[in-house]
């Protein structure tokens, strides 16, 4: 069976159109994700405008080192995934699988660092919402800041977990030779998703670690 | 120019349609056929309409007398909340796009299916999951916050907010899946010869609706997620006792919910365009105007949400801006109404049931839309906000508009989807009952609102009672009309006279396939060589 | 025909003379038209200086819209008749609207809609920005009653006393969830948002009593969260500020019908009414009312007004829904869960009170919503000084 016959679906005229449609679909999905996170960023912006000082003070109480390390981890992971897609295009499936696995591993590292950060915060009594009891920063603006912190980084972390699972699945598919040099659409789409997760973090990082 | 305009097989013998192929009940559960998926959504949303309607009848019955009539205030508050939630998210939003959009979009474009049939199938499962979660919330007693879930009350009420909010969140995911599918299908699966300006107007509205759904629904998802988290874990993002701002929730909620009303009306407008052209046998008075108005509504509709918050505590500047923008968005609907009436001019009009529903739509949506323009005048809104005037307004546009158009769609495409006719005279009676029942229910509500009767009120001073009684009696007539419609349509599914390919003599592309269509819509790739509204006299 | 509360004759004549109607230039005729339209449309009396102007915008919009709709409707119906299908398969001419027509209609309607917006917006601004020297009153909504506080120290519950003929600025907030302060007769409304103050002002044209509704869903008691505005002649208002507590009879002598504005606390059901009355009797006999008030004033125990169906915070921080179960528990095992801010002093009624009596008390508590009963406008607390 030609690869066209394996992958082409009945309602598309040819594989090129089908691949184009798949990419288009992925981009529209990413658009919806931008709005999803965007509403939280809008909330953050509104509250920042209201509680400027408290937010600035609160930013100093997040772990800049861990946060920045996570930024480096995600950027590297994105880079590796991009490389992996390139390798698939060149036909090097095993190298691609290894790179995808490495990306997933970095994702796990990200989650580990996040876990450590959260543990530190809990130890200090920084909990979300009405459960907050951090004596060093009692003002309401700080409570809102940390509630948003947990919400936004937590939601992002859930997306990272999804991304890890996705990368593992793609690595498995690459290892099993499911892709070809001409057709590796799932990997392209998965890569796009992973890049989005990275981009969201690029905005979370200044919001919660840098802007003070 | 070729005389063979759309290359399709002629009418096939029974036994080969999408309804029969593939065979077996199990094949329906795992189908990726857009037509079957459309039919599944049609039945699911109709069931939701019945459930939401039952709650409406119950709450209207409670309002027959001041004070307790059949239930107490907590139960009443749950009734209108569940009525709103079920009607908006389980019925209205998917009613036309997921049912008729799914069935017709590929056929109208000359395609064999939507771009992502497996995603389409997944959207059915996700809808079912969302419905189950919402219904579980209902079983647990249901929320009493209104469908708007305003905090702080939504965080403090003892009723089951989280399953309802999360159920709607899941339903939103189904909506986004459908939207992605429709957008990509419209862009990539148009048949050869189908330029953008040759697409049926219904496709334009489904396309614009899908863009709104894609961009607005995630914001709703976030708003409801926050409500559920607040209720379950006291996250308090909008809780003033921890520094939160309840008005920010309203901004987030209405940023979605105003475009949502356009999600609900645009597909209905698409149906209206199709029906008026077919039953007046006429080209649209201005195809371009309708396209521009459709896109205008979709875009400007995102800029008007603050008109739900004129008395909420927004700044005066915001009130001014949102009011003015609301006037802008109204112009597009007005253009459409004018264009539809103009389409009837010098047409060849046949008063079949779909056209009767069209006239009802023009009248009821016209009144509803105009009451919306009035509400956008800020000083008037100060008096009317959260009174029955607003309830009347949105029921005029949503029931008088969308549901009337949904009924028109049902009666228009029934022969195509099921290969059968329904009895015309009984259908005409149905349209009359629905129309009179609707007016009886909702005209008194404009007057109740003028008189100051607040909405979501279980009890009221006795001088409002006469109008409430009128409204409740109207609701029985409306319910009766809908019940009658359901009965003869369901009966026609099996017992109706068999329909030919094109019983209405329409020039739109879906009428070139058999009734009902075969599984893959076409045997060869169609080539489009004319527009869908080509009714003109031969020249010369 | 429905009878909304009609102002007594004298006040109606005063309204006519004092009309701020834009139709005032037409004098008697203009105002007669105004009142006729107002009645046809079921609008309440125009009791504030703002109301008549708002109503006139309403008439303007409604009239013009009806005209446009009539034209379109007649056209549509005429077309259905004139262009009905005469033969199967007949074709139609291709008619496309000229661009100037489409743009003309769009432009014309846009101009009209924006004109209406402009009038409405200016009226809105007028209602939001209080004139200098307005009397300021703090309005607090809480589940499920309204409380009012005046700068010279006077407070009141359920009834907002204001001087007629003077601007009054309301600073509105909430103690718990979002409420909304709405006076239909004044055509004013303002949401009461916890955590902030929102403002609106009005000027009552003459002395009278007007109803207040809460118009933002706030829980079980939302539809009984009513209140009253009593506008007094300025002299009478000064007396009130100085401590005068008029009852319904006093107000009637001033031409103000307090009882007619809203119905009192009456359970709609005969059986429930009997049970509630029985509960009131039991509560008095068993000594409940020695510690619990029924009008909202805080005392030794939590007030019963608005208690059933609310959510209370216990001393442990737990939030409890006050339903039959909790009330019964409070009677039988009162020290199990105590509302925060109250002492652990309540004795147990286990074995001292029968099940029917318990049910009757609960039924009585369910009737205690909304504003204080009309015959006790500013009641003193029972038995002593409130906390």
Q: Are B211 and B181 in contact (CB under 8 A)?
A: no
pLDDT score recorded for residue A11: 86
Question: What's the rounded Cα separation, in Å, for the pair C385 and B292?
Answer: 70
Least confident of A97-111, B151-165, C202-216, C241-255: C241-255
DSSP B172-222: HHHHHHHHHHHHHHHHH-PPBT--GGGS-HHHHHHHHHHHHHHHHHHHHHH
Nearest in space to C16 (alpha carbons), one of C32, C38, C36, C40: C32
Which listed CATH number (1.10.10.60, 1.10.3720.10, 1.20.120.80, 3.30.1490.20) goes with A34-210? 1.20.120.80
Q: Answer yes or no: do B237 and A51 touch at CB < 8 A.
A: no
DSSP state of B22: S
pLDDT score recorded for residue A198: 96
C144 prior amide bond cis, ω within 30: yes
The angle at the Cα of C280, spanning C276 to C283, to the nearest 5 degrees, equals 130
DSSP chain A: --HHHHH--TTSSSHHHHHHHHHHHHHHHHHHHHHHHHHHHHHHHHHHHHSHHHHHHHHTTS-HHHHHHHHHHHHHHHHHHHHHHHHHHHT-HHHHHHHHHHHHHHHHHHHHHHHHHHHHHHHHT--SGGG---TT--SHHHHHHHHHHHHHHHHHHHHHHHHHHHHHHHHHHHHTT---SS--HHHHHHHHHHHHHHHHHHHHHIIIII--
Question: Which helix (DSSP H) or strand (DSSP E) does residue C325 occupy?
Answer: helix C324-332
Q: What is the mean pLDDT of chain B?
A: 93
Q: Are B181 and B246 in contact (CB under 8 A)?
A: no
Q: Are A147 and A55 in contact (CB under 8 A)?
A: no
Tell me which of C37, C89, C97, C325 to substitute to probe the interface with B (most B C-beta atoms closer than 10 Å). C97
pLDDT band at C385 (very low <50, low <70, confident <90, very high): very low
CB of C191 within 8 Å of a chain B CB? The answer is: yes
Collect all residues of chain B within an 8 Å Cβ-Cβ radius of residue A147.
Answer: 235-237, 242
The residues pairing with B498 across neighbouring beta strands, listed in sequence order, are B420
In a domain, B293, yes or no: yes
In a domain, B205, yes or no: yes
pLDDT score recorded for residue C22: 46
Show Cβ contacts of residue B530 under 8 Å, excluding neighbours closer than 6 positions: B5, B507
Question: What's the rounded Cα separation, in Å, for the pair B400 and B434?
Answer: 9
**Within 10 A of B131 (CB to CB), how many other CB atoms are there?**
22
- In order of A34, B446, C344, the CA distances from C247 in angstroms are 61, 36, 37
Collect all residues of chain B within an 8 Å Cβ-Cβ radius of residue A24.
Answer: 183-184, 187-188
Q: Is the pLDDT of residue C374 over 50?
A: no
Q: Answer yes or no: do A25 and B244 touch at CB < 8 A.
A: no
pLDDT band at B529 (very low <50, low <70, confident <90, very high): confident
Q: Answer yes or no: do C223 and B348 touch at CB < 8 A.
A: no
Q: Is the pLDDT of residue A204 over 50?
A: yes
Collect all residues of chain A within an 8 Å Cβ-Cβ radius of residue B244.
Answer: 144
- In order of B407, B503, C295, the CA distances from B404 in angstroms are 5, 21, 50
Determine the average pLDDT of the residues in B170-196. Answer: 95
pLDDT score recorded for residue C278: 84
pLDDT band at C27 (very low <50, low <70, confident <90, very high): confident
Q: Is the pLDDT of residue C336 over 90?
A: no
Choose the closest CB to B218 out of A32, A47, A143: A32
Q: Is the pLDDT of residue C382 over 70?
A: no
pLDDT band at C313 (very low <50, low <70, confident <90, very high): confident
Choose the closest CB to A11 out of B189, B226, B248: B189
Question: What's the rounded Cα separation, in Å, for the pair B86 and C374?
Answer: 40
| CATH number of the structural domain C135-253 | 2.60.40.420
**The two three-digit tokens of residue B128, written as one number:** 């079912």
pLDDT score recorded for residue C370: 54
The residues pairing with C232 across neighbouring beta strands, listed in sequence order, are C163
Q: Is the pLDDT of residue C209 over 50?
A: yes
Determine the average pLDDT of the residues in C123-127. Answer: 95
Nearest in space to C14 (alpha carbons), one of C169, C174, C206: C206
**The two three-digit tokens of residue C124, written as one number:** 């809105």
Q: Is the pLDDT of residue C320 over 90?
A: no
pLDDT score recorded for residue B51: 97
Q: Give the CATH number of the domain where residue B257 resides.
A: 1.20.210.10
Collect all residues of chain C within an 8 Å Cβ-Cβ radius of residue B310.
Answer: 124
Q: Is the pLDDT of residue B514 over 60?
A: yes
Determine the average pLDDT of the residues in A109-127. Answer: 95
CA A212 from chain centre, in angstroms, equals 24
pLDDT score recorded for residue C10: 35
Determine the average pLDDT of the residues in B305-331. Answer: 95
CB of B233 within 8 Å of a chain A CB? The answer is: yes
pLDDT score recorded for residue C157: 84
What is the pairing mode between strands C319-321 and C311-313? antiparallel
pLDDT score recorded for residue C271: 56
Q: Is the pLDDT of residue B87 over 90?
A: yes
| Residue C204 backbone phi and psi in degrees, to 5 | -75, 135
- pTM of the complete model: 0.87
Q: Is the pLDDT of residue C352 over 90?
A: no
pLDDT band at B6 (very low <50, low <70, confident <90, very high): very low
**Within 10 A of B432 (CB to CB), how many other CB atoms are there?**
13
Question: What's the rounded Cα separation, in Å, for the pair A165 and A158?
Answer: 11
**The two three-digit tokens of residue B207, written as one number:** 């396309």
DSSP H helices in B67-140: 73-85, 93-94, 102-109, 117-139
Half-sphere exposure for C128 (CA within 13 Å, toward CB): 23
Determine the average pLDDT of the residues in B118-147. Answer: 95
Q: List chain C domain ranges.
A: 9-75+102-128, 135-253, 270-366
| Residue C209 backbone phi and psi in degrees, to 5 | -115, 135
**The two three-digit tokens of residue C125, written as one number:** 């601004």
pLDDT band at C26 (very low <50, low <70, confident <90, very high): low
Collect all residues of chain A within an 8 Å Cβ-Cβ radius of residue B257.
Answer: none
Determine the average pLDDT of the residues in A179-199. Answer: 94
Show Cβ contacts of residue C67 under 8 Å, excluding neighbours closer than 6 positions: none
Four-point Cα dihedral C233, C239, C245, C248, nearest 10: -20
Q: Is the pLDDT of residue A109 over 90?
A: yes
Q: Is the pLDDT of residue C126 over 60?
A: yes
Q: Answer yes or no: do A144 and B242 touch at CB < 8 A.
A: yes
The model's pLDDT over B342-356, given as tens digits with 9 standing for 90+, comes to 999 999 999 999 999
Q: Is the pLDDT of residue B181 over 80?
A: yes
| CATH number of the structural domain C270-366 | 1.10.760.10
Q: Is the pLDDT of residue C378 over 80?
A: no
Q: Is the pLDDT of residue A208 over 50?
A: yes
Kindly identify which residue of chain A lies nearest to residue B251, measuring between CA atoms: A43
Positive or negative torsion for Cα B252, B253, B259, B263: positive
Determine the average pLDDT of the residues in B355-366. Answer: 96
CB of B176 within 8 Å of a chain A CB? The answer is: yes
What is the pairing mode between strands C208-214 and C179-183? antiparallel
Q: Is the pLDDT of residue C1 over 60?
A: no
Q: Is the pLDDT of residue C266 over 90?
A: no
The model's pLDDT over A6-21, given as tens digits with 9 standing for 90+, comes to 788 888 888 999 999 9
Can you give the residue range of the structural domain that contains B236? 32-512
The angle at the Cα of C358, spanning C356 to C359, to the nearest 5 degrees, equals 65
Q: What is the mean pLDDT of chain A?
A: 93
Collect all residues of chain A within an 8 Å Cβ-Cβ radius of residue B520.
Answer: 10-11
Kindly identify which residue of chain C lies nearest to residue B77, measuring between CA atoms: C220
pLDDT score recorded for residue C259: 76
pLDDT score recorded for residue C282: 87
| Residue C163 backbone phi and psi in degrees, to 5 | -85, 135
Question: What's the rounded Cα separation, in Å, for the pair A208 and B251?
Answer: 23
- In order of A82, A115, A183, B187, C200, the CA distances from A189 in angstroms are 11, 28, 12, 19, 54
pLDDT band at B250 (very low <50, low <70, confident <90, very high): very high
Q: What is the mean pLDDT of chain C?
A: 83
In a domain, B25, yes or no: no
Question: What's the rounded Cα separation, in Å, for the pair B182 and B175?
Answer: 11
pLDDT band at C376 (very low <50, low <70, confident <90, very high): very low
- In order of B384, B451, C41, C42, C227, the CA distances from B447 in angstroms are 11, 6, 6, 6, 22
What is the pairing mode between strands C135-142 and C167-174? parallel
Length of chain A in terms of residues written: 212
Collect all residues of chain A within an 8 Å Cβ-Cβ radius of residue B263.
Answer: none
Min Cα distance C77 → chain B (Å) is 9
Q: Is the pLDDT of residue B114 over 50?
A: yes
The model's pLDDT over C74-109, given as tens digits with 9 standing for 90+, comes to 999 999 999 999 888 788 899 999 999 999 999 999
Q: Is the pLDDT of residue C183 over 50?
A: yes
Residues 393-412 of chain B with CB under 8 A from chain C are none
Q: Are C202 and C231 in contact (CB under 8 A)?
A: no
pLDDT score recorded for residue B481: 96
- Please state the ipTM of this predicted complex: 0.93
Determine the average pLDDT of the residues in C316-328. Answer: 82
Min Cα distance A186 → chain B (Å) is 14
Question: What's the rounded Cα separation, in Å, for the pair C136 and C169?
Answer: 5
What is the pairing mode between strands C167-174 and C198-203? antiparallel
pLDDT band at C310 (very low <50, low <70, confident <90, very high): confident
3-state secondary structure of B25: helix
Length of chain B in terms of residues written: 540
DSSP state of B67: S
Q: Answer yes or no: do B158 and C194 touch at CB < 8 A.
A: no
Determine the average pLDDT of the residues in A42-57. Answer: 94
Collect all residues of chain B within an 8 Å Cβ-Cβ radius of residue A46.
Answer: 245, 248, 251
CA A108 from chain centre, in angstroms, equals 12
pLDDT band at A4 (very low <50, low <70, confident <90, very high): low
pLDDT score recorded for residue B302: 96
Q: Are A208 and A156 in contact (CB under 8 A)?
A: no
pLDDT score recorded for residue B15: 64
Number of domains in chain B: 1
Q: Are A151 and A128 in contact (CB under 8 A)?
A: yes
Question: What's the rounded Cα separation, in Å, for the pair B53 and B59?
Answer: 10
Q: Answer yes or no: do A128 and B233 touch at CB < 8 A.
A: yes
Give percent of chain B above pLDDT 70. Answer: 96
Q: Are C203 and C167 in contact (CB under 8 A)?
A: yes
Q: Is the pLDDT of residue B311 over 60?
A: yes
- Subunits next to C (3 or more Cβ pairs <8 Å) are B
**The two three-digit tokens of residue A132, written as one number:** 């907050």
Min Cα distance A147 → chain B (Å) is 7
Buried b (16+ CB within 10 A) or exposed e, B482-495: bebbeebbeebeee
Least confident of B73-77, C272-276, C288-292: C272-276
Q: Are C258 and C288 in contact (CB under 8 A)?
A: no
**The two three-digit tokens of residue C50, written as one number:** 């703002």
Determine the average pLDDT of the residues in C273-284. Answer: 81
Question: What's the rounded Cα separation, in Å, for the pair B359 and B27?
Answer: 40
In a domain, B66, yes or no: yes
């Amino acid at each position: 069976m030609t690869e066209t016959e394996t992958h082409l679906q009945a309602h598309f005229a040819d594989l090129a159109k089908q691949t184009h449609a798949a990419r288009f679909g992925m981009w529209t999905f990413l658009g919806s994700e931008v709005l999803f996170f965007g509403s939280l960023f809008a909330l953050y912006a509104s509250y920042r405008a209201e509680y400027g000082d408290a937010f600035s003070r609160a930013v100093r109480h997040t772990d800049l080192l861990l946060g920045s390390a996570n930024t480096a981890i995600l950027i590297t992971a994105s880079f590796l995934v991009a490389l992996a897609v390139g390798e698939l295009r060149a036909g090097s499936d095993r190298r691609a699988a290894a790179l995808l696995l490495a990306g997933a591993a970095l994702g796990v590292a990200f989650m580990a660092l996040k876990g450590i950060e959260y543990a530190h915060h809990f130890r200090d009594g920084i909990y979300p919402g009405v459960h907050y009891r951090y004596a060093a920063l009692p003002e309401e603006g700080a409570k809102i800041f940390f509630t948003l912190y947990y919400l936004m980084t937590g939601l992002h972390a859930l997306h990272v977990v999804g991304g890890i699972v996705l990368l593992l699945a793609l690595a498995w598919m690459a290892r099993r030779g499911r892709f070809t040099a001409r057709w590796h659409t799932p990997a392209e789409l998965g890569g796009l998703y992973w890049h989005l997760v990275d981009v969201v973090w690029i905005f979370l990082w200044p919001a919660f670690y840098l802007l003070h | 120019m070729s005389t063979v305009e759309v290359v399709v097989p002629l009418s096939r013998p029974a036994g080969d349609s999408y309804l029969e192929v593939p065979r077996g009940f199990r094949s329906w559960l795992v189908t990726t056929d857009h037509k079957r998926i459309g039919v599944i959504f049609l039945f699911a949303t109709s069931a939701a309409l019945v459930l939401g309607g039952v709650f409406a009848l119950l709450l209207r019955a409670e309002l027959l007398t001041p004070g307790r009539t059949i239930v107490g205030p907590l139960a009443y508050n749950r009734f209108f909340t569940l009525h709103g939630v079920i009607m908006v998210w389980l019925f209205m939003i998917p009613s036309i796009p997921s049912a008729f959009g799914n069935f017709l979009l590929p056929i109208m474009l000359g395609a064999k299916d939507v771009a992502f049939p497996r995603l389409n199938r997944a959207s059915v499962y996700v809808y079912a999951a969302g419905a189950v979660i919402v219904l579980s919330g209902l079983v647990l007693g249901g929320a009493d916050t209104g469908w708007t879930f305003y905090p702080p009350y939504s965080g403090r009420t003892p009723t089951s907010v989280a399953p309802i909010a999360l159920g709607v969140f899941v339903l939103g995911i189904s909506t986004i899946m459908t939207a992605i599918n429709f957008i990509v299908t419209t862009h990539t699966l148009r048949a050869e010869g189908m330029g953008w300006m040759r697409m049926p107007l219904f496709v334009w509205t489904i396309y614009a609706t899908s863009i709104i759904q894609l961009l607005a629904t995630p914001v709703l998802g976030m708003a409801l997620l926050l409500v559920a988290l607040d209720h379950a874990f006291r996250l308090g993002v909008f809780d003033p006792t921890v520094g939160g701002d309840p008005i920010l929730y309203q901004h987030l909620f209405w940023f979605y919910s105003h475009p949502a009303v356009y999600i609900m009306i645009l597909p209905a407008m698409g149906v209206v365009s199709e029906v008026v052209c077919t039953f007046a046998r006429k080209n649209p008075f201005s195809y371009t105007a309708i396209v521009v108005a459709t896109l205008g509504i979709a875009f400007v509709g995102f800029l008007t949400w603050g008109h739900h918050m004129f008395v909420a505590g927004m700044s005066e500047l915001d009130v001014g801006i949102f009011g003015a923008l609301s006037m802008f968005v109204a112009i597009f609907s007005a253009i459409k109404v004018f264009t539809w009436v103009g389409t009837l001019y010098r047409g060849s009009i046949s008063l079949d049931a779909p056209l009767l529903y069209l006239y009802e739509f023009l009248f009821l949506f016209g009144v509803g839309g105009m009451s919306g323009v009035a509400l956008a005048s800020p000083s008037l809104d100060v008096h009317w906000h959260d009174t029955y005037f607003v309830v009347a307004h949105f029921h005029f546009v949503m029931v008088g508009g969308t549901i009337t158009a949904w009924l028109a769609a049902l009666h228009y495409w029934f022969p195509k989807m099921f290969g059968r006719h329904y009895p015309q005279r009984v259908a005409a009676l149905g349209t009359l009952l629905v129309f009179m029942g609707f007016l009886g229910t909702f005209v008194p509500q404009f007057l109740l609102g003028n008189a100051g009767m607040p909405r979501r009120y279980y009890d009221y001073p006795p001088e409002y009672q006469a109008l409430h009684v009128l409204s409740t009696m109207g609701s029985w007539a409306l319910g009766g009309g809908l019940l009658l419609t359901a009965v003869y349509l369901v009966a026609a599914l099996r017992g109706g006279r068999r329909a030919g390919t094109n019983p209405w003599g329409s020039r739109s592309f879906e009428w070139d396939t058999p009734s009902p269509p075969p599984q893959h819509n076409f045997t060869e790739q169609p080539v489009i060589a004319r527009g869908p509204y080509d009714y003109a006299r031969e020249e010369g | 025909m429905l009878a909304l509360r009609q102002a007594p004759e004298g006040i109606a004549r005063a309204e006519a003379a004092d009309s701020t109607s834009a139709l005032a230039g037409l004098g008697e005729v203009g105002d007669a038209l105004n009142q006729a339209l107002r009645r046809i449309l079921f609008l309440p009396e125009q009791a504030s200086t703002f109301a008549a102007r708002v109503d006139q915008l309403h008439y303007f919009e409604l009239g013009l819209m009806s005209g446009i709709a009539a034209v379109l409707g007649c056209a549509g119906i005429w077309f259905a008749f004139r262009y009905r299908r005469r033969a199967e398969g007949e074709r139609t001419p291709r008619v496309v609207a000229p661009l100037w027509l489409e743009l003309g209609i769009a432009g014309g309607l846009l101009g009209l809609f924006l004109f209406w917006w402009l009038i409405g917006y200016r009226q809105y601004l007028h209602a939001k920005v209080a004139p200098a020297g307005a009397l300021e009153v703090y309005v607090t909504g809480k589940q499920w009653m309204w409380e009012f506080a005046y700068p010279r120290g006077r407070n009141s519950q359920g009834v907002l006393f204001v001087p007629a003929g003077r601007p009054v600025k309301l600073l509105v907030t909430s103690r718990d969830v979002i409420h909304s302060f709405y006076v239909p007769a004044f055509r004013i409304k303002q949401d009461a948002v916890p955590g902030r103050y929102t403002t609106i002002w009005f000027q009552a044209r003459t002395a009278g009593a007007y109803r207040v509704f809460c118009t933002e869903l706030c829980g079980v008691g939302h539809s009984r969260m009513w209140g009253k505005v009593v506008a007094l002649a300025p002299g009478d208002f000064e007396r009130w500020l100085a401590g005068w507590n008029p009852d319904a009879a006093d107000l009637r002598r001033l031409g103000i019908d307090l009882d007619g504005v809203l119905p009192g606390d009456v359970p709609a059901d005969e059986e429930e009414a009997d049970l509630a009355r029985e509960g009131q009797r039991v509560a008095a006999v068993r000594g409940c009312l020695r510690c619990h008030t029924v009008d909202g004033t805080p005392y030794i125990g939590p007030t019963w007004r608005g208690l059933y169906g609310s959510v209370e915070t216990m001393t442990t921080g737990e939030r409890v829904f006050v339903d039959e179960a909790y009330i019964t528990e409070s009677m039988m095992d009162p020290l199990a869960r105590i509302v925060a801010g109250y002492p652990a002093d309540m004795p147990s009624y286990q074995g001292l009170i029968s099940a029917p009596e318990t049910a009757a008390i609960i039924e009585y508590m369910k009737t205690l919503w909304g504003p204080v009963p009309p015959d006790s406008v500013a009641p003193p607390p029972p038995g002593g000084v409130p906390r």
